[in-house]
Structure 1
Amino acid sequence: MNQPVVETAELMRRVEQLVDAAANRYRITVQVANRAKRRRYEDLNDDDGNFKPVLRAIFEMSDEMNEPEIIGD
């Protein structure tokens, strides 16, 4: 099964945004890892070839940081 191609520059930009916005690099790293781990177990039966859990966690967290209305309501 092929994984979707992720543009490296976009991924690095999002990672840098997360790290720069965080007060503690270790804490944001642990938060990304925990979200990825949680998503991995949530999606065990839903294996449709999406991004790997850590990539999905990075994209989700950077989106939430940039667009807080996503998680509102």
Structure 2
Amino acid sequence: MTLRNPHLGIDNDELMRRVEALINASKNRYRITVQVANRAKRRRYDDPNDVEEGWMKPIRRAIIEMSDELTEPEIIGDE
């Protein structure tokens, strides 16, 4: 069963495909997991009063943003 929230514009299956793409593109599964978590945390604390983005959880937004940036190697590359 695929759940789709009209506000997100992305269903759970698509989100899982994006997560898999991030993990597969990274040499280190732990590092990409930490990078996604850090981006979500940073996003959450940057503007806690952001009403427009309140309907999307920070972790979902971080996954979507980072999967869109797969073409930039510094996002998922080893530092």
TM over 0.5: yes
Output the CA distance in 2 between the equivalents of 1:47 and 1:38.
Answer: 16
Matched, 1:41 2:45: yes
Q: How far, CA to CA, are the matches of 2:25 and 2:33 in structure 1? A: 12
**Deviation of residue 28 (structure 1)?**
0.2
Q: CA deviation at 1:60?
A: 0.1
Please tell me whether residue 7 in structure 1 is matched to residue 8 in structure 2.
no
Query: Which one has a larger percent helix, Structure 1 or Structure 2?
Result: 1
| Distance in 2 (alpha carbons) for counterparts of 1:7 and 1:35 | 21
Report how many aligned residue pairs link the two structures. 65
3-state secondary structure, aligned to 1:65: coil
Moved more, 5-14 or 24-33: 5-14
**Is residue 29 of structure 1 aligned with residue 33 of structure 2?**
yes
Bigger relative contact order (CA 8 A; separation at least 6):
1
**C-alpha RMSD of matched pairs (Å):** 1.7
Once residues 65 and 55 of structure 1 are traced to their aligned partners in structure 2, the CA distance between those partners, rounded to angstroms, is 16
Percent pairwise identity: 64
Please name the residue that 1:54 is paired with. Answer: 59
Q: 2:24 aligns with which of 1, 20, 28?
A: 20
State how far apart, in whole Å, the 2-side matches of 1:25 and 1:35 are.
16
Alpha-carbon offset, residue 51 of structure 1: 1.1
> Unaligned regions of 5+ residues in structure 2, if any?
1-6, 73-79
